[in-house]
Amino acid sequence: MTYRFHHIHLLCTNLENTIDFFTQAFGAELVARKQFGQANGASLSLNGTTINLRVAAEDETVNADAPLPIYGYHHMCVEVDNLDAAYRELRDKKIECSVPPRNTPDNLRVAFFKGPDDIVIEVLQQL
C-alpha cells in the first residue's frame, strides 16, 4: 500500500485574508470556493498540493489560546530552490519572519514565517 498526502485542511478566522496570504505570498491558485458542512471555505492549489481552508461553523467553538507547540500540528513547509531569494521576497511582502535563514546539520537551509492565525510556515531549500 502506498500512502501520500492528498490535502492540508486549515481552520481560519478570516477566509479572505487567508486566501490572499497563500495566493500572494506563495503563488497558490484559488481553485474553488465551497462549503465544508455549514462553513464557508475554499480550496487552493500550491503546485499540485491542495490546501483547504474554512472558517468555523456557527455551532463550533474554536480554542485559539493554545500556546505553541501543541500536539497534532506544529508547522507546514514549502520547498524552494533559493531560500535567500524567497526570504527577501516574503520580507518585501511584509510577511513576518520568526526564524531567519539558517543551515541545518542535515544539509538544508530553512527559515520560518508567521501566517494568518499564527500558522507557522517553514520555507526550506535542500543544499
Domains in the chain and their CATH numbers?
1-58 (3.10.180.10), 74-127 (3.10.180.10)
Q: What is the mean pLDDT of the segment spanning 93-122?
A: 95
Q: Can you tell me whether residue 1 is helix, strand or coil?
A: coil
Question: Any idea of the CA torsion for 107, 67, 50, 109, to the nearest 10 degrees?
Answer: -10
Q: Could you tell me what percent of the chain has a pLDDT over 70?
A: 94
Instruction: Mention every residue, 6+ apart, whose C-beta is less than 8 A from residue 107.
Output: 126, 127
Q: What is the mean pLDDT of the segment spanning 68-87?
A: 87
Position 86 confidence tier, pLDDT thresholds 50, 70, 90? very high
For the chain, count helices (H), then strands (E): 2, 8
Residue 58 has pLDDT above 90, yes or no: no
Most confident of 2-16, 64-78, 89-103: 89-103
Regarding pTM above 0.75, the answer is yes
- Residue 68 has what pLDDT? 66
- Residue 64 has what pLDDT? 66
- Residue 96 has what pLDDT? 97
- As given in the structure block, the three cell numbers for residue 23 are 495566493
Output 62 or 38, whichever has higher pLDDT.
38
